[in-house]
Structure 1
């Protein structure tokens, strides 16, 4: 496919597209003053669910509600948790290419990078969630492990806070601070054929096609196909990327039975991508930054990942009061990379070195869930009961070679390119790179039951429940595949919560909920590399308030969460030590403040401290990579007198943070400005959308993130000024 490197990429469409709102929102959108051209009327579900998608809120950038795990999709005002569902309209208008691009709009989330490679990871309330722990339609770890293109999903749902009762234990060690769920695309009621092309910095180009049809009596059968290719460079010198993908979504809507299925493929190839910057032991103070376009990666470095995934889901109405469902999903992943991560030895001169690290990996993921929901009344009290069970298994195969002592001297400001070195006899090795061996297996089993009680005509909602979980992790030694003693324990995770709706505009809520995740895996730099620590139990308390003014919504949440922590100790052993306590306040705003002006954003204050570490140098210090303050605010403005023309802007601010657990290396905060312009018109009966965008308008030098893996304080240089222009046409 890549031989056709001239052709191009992206995009995208979806059920609720930009100027094609569902009937439930037509009144709001007309009142907003937006000028709508002929589009697609959408009324469909993102899965085999009678609930369907939560309708867009005024302005179309977020939905009115989202999915709270096994409790299903609910309106925000009825939900005792903090949830934001970002729509496909926002995804398209911001020309987002990945989940991380979408979450730049979220004030409680910051995008980072996984350890040693180019995986997206996300700080949610200051806790790390890896992209391989993102859920797809409620099932964990099904979409590509390191990078998820936006063509593969309809919406991004962010549920902030611990969620063991709601979603089950997170298999990869994340999920303490929140969960991310992506909703699949489904065929809308009207035919859809959309072609999108774009070109951007570094002559990055892409072409995408989005086709959907419904068939049969009452259009019960739907099919939707998305295909895309991306290729070219980036705004960073000599970086290269190629991404190909194809996805098919099917659904059948009967009177009592609803079925859906997804199958997809993504192949993502990175060439000479700028690496993480590891700080040498002698560095104190904030490291200087290179020019934003400087590429200090070695010319032979690359990272390739290919994924195939699929899901099946069914829902059946047993009667008017009971609905049962079942789902199954799988992912098969092949990864191969040759890396040369940079270690900075002198922050003033920029001197440092790179070492070759090669890695191959295979993942086999199988997961599923079954459940039943019921509703009944006991006198004046209404009940909504849910019972569910889930299963998850991931078998991991891995091999590596690391030539730590063969250091390639270079400089972050004036990089030195080396020929690809052969591995020396002193290189560390594990398994065969051409045939990686079994290194780990994770199995999760759970059973959950919950009841939501509503009284006083739904003004008071009380929810209580628990999830019984069995976590089993197995580790196998490199080369010999000798099995270490398995970790196999059970845990009950409770939750209680309440919502009080003061009136139609205001509600207050509170919750106590726990998180349960697999313990962190020791990185390759530790003596006990590959060892999985015991699962982490976190405890969260939260209170908040929500406002819905019809066209403008706002939220505030106050929370505290504690979690066991992990470090590499003085003996180079990866171990659990003490706990992290995160206290914070979140503010959010969304909707249409005045006619033609839409806002989306907010701010988060975080007090993330290390506690009970047993070490006076770390006890009470701030957690690596977590700022005390961060904020995002975006505005969309329909320019008066220019029909179909909209200007958008976004400011993203991240405060300073620390790159080590003793807080001697402080990394400066940063503020970034992004601007965009779009024009919607009609050409010969076809809807045409033209978009242009510039991110980091001022070309601000900044360290975009600090860390992204527990106990690690590596840095990632922010992207330079980046532009993209695109055109899409609906046939």
Structure 2
């Protein structure tokens, strides 16, 4: 089917190219040509290059919007924001999750039973392996991504299958996260950073860049090492990473490529904690001490690369193609507690896991600009493909073989993982999953009324295919495999009320594979449609909003509603979609400079996530983030910053009987820059996070229908020195 899909896409590309050339030949009016764009280096090999930072430098004026390419925020009928490398450096953020602590629509949670970062956007999860890297799915390390790889972190709020394709892991229904890799700037770069944090964990990093004299060739190399104990007693981690990014730019051709390596290990990490159903949520344990057993660990090693090219066939015809691949090896031993007594006593079982992934992914497309009367068109067609082969094996100890108390952590000997069922050979895992996701998308962006009215119309045809195999024999499990397709349309309208104020509205859908009907009911009866695979689930979203950018200040307000299907058994024991999770919300965002010396970044999100009259697991009603940075007029080389993060109460169970307390966290930082000799600059940064040392439950869930809890980070100091020479 993927062959037919790409054949169809190639024919469509050819027809569009021919139509565009006929349009250009048949009309002498220069208005049919796209505006000339100054070529710049960029990670996505686009002529428009990287969007400029907005005043204050913490966010950008635009970014990649999937199929639409790089767009200005004020010209796009969707809600998104781009966080810059400057913000990452000044806050000493070590990972994507730490960058997203600045976003009021996002909260960072954990994967199911492991240390994977999960990002809850508008109350719905984005798994870290469902992030995109320069627009391509599946290339980034599954568990954790170091910030040294990152030029920009882009957050697209809302359903996005039309724009980016369905996320292979089935998440991304409430938003998407895209990582933009680093590229050589126009000036040479020589940068070395040394740092340390609570627990005497040290790190060192280097960032080097060169560009040829004519500016056409660029290379940027990053390497970093982190090692040592964390701020949590009993927890340690180490990370090694390296990245090389190269690019070439010419009048009509642009090429970029990346090669990245990351090895990340956690020992004795703070685990996820489940509270047994009848119990209320207990007080949070001491965040400075790990509840995890010393013999637990997670180790992940990833190698990934991409190649992307863009070519201007004519002034109004541009084609692009991209390819990426990743190989990874993971191993871990976990023992996540389930608290079953009010005094904090818990039981757990040892869980060993190994995983090996191979990912191949790519896309190709064509973009054509032309006019019909007074209407300007920007038509894009794109075909995308993703293939994953995953090998897995696991082993378990007996249930309850690990015991302890979350308020008095103590090591116990590791039990033998020999309980039934077994899951293959840990030293030689077999293929258990093959995932294939293919799509073909078409969009027309129309401009009317002297470019004041912008209309986006499009749709994506999506194929979803999963094959599952037994971990002990490798036999294909037909009853657990999936193959279906769907078309997801979208429409967006944006009207520029003034040059600095835009109103917008959109309809867009999210897509994930449907569930398969179980064999029996909880009571043991046979399900009427046992084994039937349901059609792909569509999460339907509508949104309206206002965007504002003037001089040094920008912001937005968004009002949205989405409906996510929920399948269950009806009164006749038929498994089908019976209900919906209704998410409605209001988001306010502001960024930029209030004064020449005072920058702001933050906002507030109000969320109503309803399931049959109850609030969905892990969906706080209110989330607020507020950052301020102040440059002292008397000492312009000194900057002080502060950040407040607030999360209201949330629930850990579907019946809303287990409620987490609201929490508020304060972070403070300072930065001082001074010259060293005639040609070097030293930047000293200091930061204290969770200043008041609050113990709090940071999140509930992160995986559908699961309400496990994550302990918030303790008080942590961070120091670093960066030398530019």
How high is the TM-score relative to the length of structure 2? 0.90
Q: Please say if 1:375 is aligned against 2:393.
A: no
2:494 is equivalent to residue 499 of structure 1: yes
1:142 aligns with 2:139: yes
Cα distance in 2 for partners of 1:643, 1:423 equals: 60
Of the three residues 104, 113, 132, the one matched with 1:107 is: 104
Output one character per residue of 1:383-434: Cα deviation in whole Å (capped at 9) or x when no partner: 111011000011111111122424222000001211222224x343111111
- Is it true that 1:730 corresponds to 2:720 in the alignment? no
User: Are positions 1:662 and 2:655 aligned together?
Assistant: yes
Match for residue 229 of structure 2 among 216, 228, 233: 233
Q: What is aligned with 1:627?
A: 620
User: What is the aligned partner in structure 1 of residue 606 from structure 2?
Assistant: 605
Q: List per-residue Cα deviations over 1:57-93 (Å, max 9, x = no partner).
A: 0110000111111111111111100010001010101
Task: Say whether residues 1:306 and 2:301 are aligned partners.
Answer: yes
Query: What is the alpha-carbon distance in structure 2 between the residues aligned to residue 257 and residue 61 of structure 1?
Result: 30
| Aligned mates of 2:569, 2:284 — CA distance in 1 | 27
> Which residue in 1 is equivalent to 2:285?
290
The CA deviation at 1:166 is 0.7
TM-superposed CA distance for 1:478, in Å, is 2.5
User: In the alignment, is the contact (CA less than 8 A) between 1:676 and 1:693 conserved in 2?
Assistant: yes
What are the residue-to-residue correspondences of 1:502-521 with 2, within 5 Å?
A: 502-518=497-513
- Compare 532-541 and 692-701 and name the one that shifted more: 532-541
* 1:520-539 equivalence runs, <5 A: 535-539=536-540
Question: 1:338 aligns to what SS in structure 2?
Answer: strand
- Any gaps of 5 or more consecutive residues in structure 2? 1-38, 523-531
**CA distance in 2: counterparts of 1:242 and 1:476, whole angstroms:** 33
| 1:468 alignment partner, SS class | strand
Which of the residues 59, 67, 88 maps onto 2:85?
Answer: 88
Q: Would you say 1:410 and 2:411 are equivalent positions?
A: no
Paired position in structure 2 for 1:326 = 321
- The residue aligned with 1:23 is none
Contact 2:376-2:447 within 8 A present in 1 as well: yes
> CA 1:105–1:440 in 2, change beyond 3 Å: closer, same or farther?
same
Is residue 596 of structure 2 the alignment partner of residue 595 of structure 1?
A: yes
What secondary structure, in the 3-state scheme, does the structure 2 residue paired with 1:564 have?
strand
**Matches of 2:516 and 2:672 in 1, distance apart?**
48
**Offset, 1:484:** 2.5
Q: Which residue of 2 aligns with 1:637?
A: 630
What is the DSSP-based 3-state SS (H/G/I as helix, E as strand, rest coil) of the residue aligned with 1:218? coil
Q: Which runs of 5+ in 1 are unaligned?
A: 1-41, 611-618
Structure-2 separation of matches of 1:622 and 1:381: 45
C-alpha distance after superposition, 1:585-627 (max 9, x if no partner): 00000000112100000000011011xxxxxxxx211100101
| From 378, 382, 393, the counterpart of 1:384 | 378
Residue in structure 1 matching 2:692, options 695, 698, 704: 698
2-structure distance, mates of 1:422, 1:696: 38
Evaluate the alpha carbon distance shift between residue 101 and residue 534 of structure 1 in structure 2; reply closer, same or farther with a 3 A threshold.
Answer: farther
Aligned partners of 1:287 and 1:699: how far apart in 2? 18
- Cα distance in structure 1, aligned partners of 2:398 and 2:377: 61
**Which residue matches 2:240?**
244
Distance (whole Å) between structure 2 residues aligned to residue 704 and residue 202 of structure 1: 21
Deviation at 1:291, TM superposition (A): 1.4
Q: Deviations over 1:457-491 (max 9, x none)?
A: 11000110011111111111221222233321121
Change (3 A) 1:636 1:575: farther
State which of 688, 708, 724 in structure 2 corresponds to 1:714: 708
Q: Measure the CA separation in 1 of the matches of 2:225 and 2:142.
A: 19
Quick check: 1:487 aligned with 2:458? no
- Once residues 96 and 577 of structure 2 are traced to their aligned partners in structure 1, the CA distance between those partners, rounded to angstroms, is 30
Alignment of 1:17-32 (within 5 A): none
**Does the residue aligned with 1:100 lie in a helix, a strand or coil?**
helix
Deviation of residue 43 (structure 1)? 5.5
Instruction: Indicate the residue corresponding to 2:22 in structure 1.
Output: none
The question of 1:451 aligning with 2:444 is answered: yes
Once residues 629 and 648 of structure 2 are traced to their aligned partners in structure 1, the CA distance between those partners, rounded to angstroms, is 25
How far apart are the structure 2 equivalents of 1:566 and 1:598? 47
The answer to whether the Cα contact below 8 Å between 2:508 and 2:542 also exists between their aligned partners in 1 is yes
* Conserved? CA contact 1:172–1:520, under 8 Å: no
| Equivalent residue pairs, number | 671
- Give the root-mean-square deviation of aligned CA atoms: 2.2
Distance 1:575 1:237, change over 3 A: farther
SS of alignment partner, residue 420 of structure 1: coil
Distance 1:521 1:717, change over 3 A: farther
Question: What secondary structure is seen at the aligned counterpart in 2 of 1:318?
Answer: strand
Q: How big is the shift at 1:164?
A: 1.0
1:182 counterpart residue number: 179
Cα 1:306–1:565 change in 2 (3 A) is: farther
Check conservation: 1:172, 1:518, Cα contact below 8 A: no
CA contact (8 A) 2:122 2:157 kept: yes
* Aligned partner of 1:279 among 275, 284, 308: 275
* 3-state SS, counterpart of residue 314 of structure 2: coil
Residue 70 of structure 1 corresponds to 67
Q: How far off is 1:220 after superposition?
A: 1.3
Q: CA deviation at 1:565?
A: 3.6
Residue 34 of structure 2 corresponds to none
4+ long deviations beyond 3 Å = 518-522, 531-535, 565-569, 574-577
CA contact (8 A) 1:505 1:548 kept: yes
- Residues 233/174 of structure 1: CA separation in 2 closer, same or farther (3 Å cut): same
CA 1:163/1:206 → structure 2, altered by over 3 Å: closer, same or farther?
Answer: same
More off after superposition, 267-276 vs 398-407: 398-407
